[in-house]
A and B are shown apart, each in its own frame.
Chain A
Amino acid sequence: MVEGMNKEPILIRPIGIIHSQFRTRGEAPRQGRGTTSPSTIEIFPEYAPALGTLAGITHIWVLYWMDRARAGSPCSPSPRMERPQTGLHHTVSCAAKPHRPFYRDDYRS
């Protein structure tokens, strides 16, 4: 542990919304390459200047909050692992499961 390390939670503000055709959890593919269906990302106007020269880039990393993930997880933690009070990191790191609050995927731009 680093001395003076601040363990305060980190607050993050969404910079936009991902619009997709998937309405329920079951419909969404597990990985971005599991679908060819086009979607759009709406960047909130205050961040639009930050897109700049994104043109010419074929792929982007998209990090998002899994707002509708269930509290439970198919990648179950063992009974020994206590669920943190925040309820955020209750899943294990053994796989990139969607039932984890912080997730990324690649989309063609």
Chain B
Amino acid sequence: MEVRYTIIGIIHSPFTNQKDTPIQSVYSSADGTIEVFPEYADGLQELEGFSHLILLYHFHHEGPMRLRIAPYLDHETERGIFSTRHHDRPNRIGLSIVELLSISGNTISIRGVDVLNGTPLIDIKPYVFHFDHRDNVRSGWIDRADRERQVPFTPDQLTRKHPSGKNGG
């Protein structure tokens, strides 16, 4: 069985190469725009009332499918790809929660962009606090990695650049 998705728009961002692209929206202050294809523009009605959007998109750059990966946050240890947000997944679907700045026609201005310029957009959903936030969350290996470092990760560590200068993949 295969499922087929139609691209509904394009995300425009300041990032043109992977290693300079932030790995999480929460650590990005970059602005970008979403160009929703005109045939879907009517679907944006009422969206302006939401402060944040969930974006689902396709990691369109080439890459192998990997079931185990040493993630950007911890270049040392391989993890199951499903316990990471890494792009080399069986289905190359990305997810970001971004801040909605404004909507004009079929163009949405957003902040906190962490994707490459030209990323194909699969879907937009509103972030809804009482649906989407969770209390008492444990974050597995990410919590452990934080504890081992004694300090939380800083934005500087949240880059795609391998500590040795090599691209972490």
Contacts and interface: CB of A to CB of B under 8 A. Distances in A.
Interface of A: 1-2, 5-7, 9-15, 31, 33, 47, 49-61, 63, 65, 77-78, 80-82, 84, 86, 88-89, 91-96, 100-102, 104, 106
A81 B128 contact: no
A93 B132 contact: no
Contacts of A9: 4-7
B87 to A, nearest CB: 14
The dominant DSSP class at the A interface is: loop
Nearest to A65: B3
B67 A47 contact: yes
8 contacts: A1-B35, A10-B6, A52-B78, A52-B81, A80-B42, A86-B4, A93-B124, A96-B131
A88 to B, nearest CB: 5
Nearest to B84: A52
The dominant DSSP class at the B interface is: mixed
A14 B43 CA distance: 27
Interface residues of B, number: 55
B137 A59 contact: yes
Contact of A5 (B10, B40, B83): B10
B91 A13 contact: yes
B7 A51 contact: no
B140 A57 contact: yes
A92 B45 contact: yes
A56 B144 contact: yes
Which 7 residue pairs of A and B lie closest in terms of their CB atoms, listed nearest first?
Answer: A52-B80, A56-B140, A57-B140, A81-B42, A50-B67, A92-B43, A2-B118
Contact of A94 (B46, B60, B78): B46
Interface of B: 1-8, 10, 12, 35, 39-40, 42-47, 54, 56, 58, 60, 67-68, 78-83, 90-91, 93, 95, 117-118, 120, 122-126, 128, 131-132, 134, 136-141, 143-144
Nearest to B128: A96
Given A89-B8, A102-B5, A53 B123 contact: no
A81 B41 CA distance: 8
A33 B80 contact: no
Given A54-B82, A59-B134, A10 B4 contact: yes
A102 B42 contact: no
A77 B1 contact: no
Given A33-B131, A49-B67, A50-B67, A55 B140 contact: yes
A70 to B, nearest CB: 17
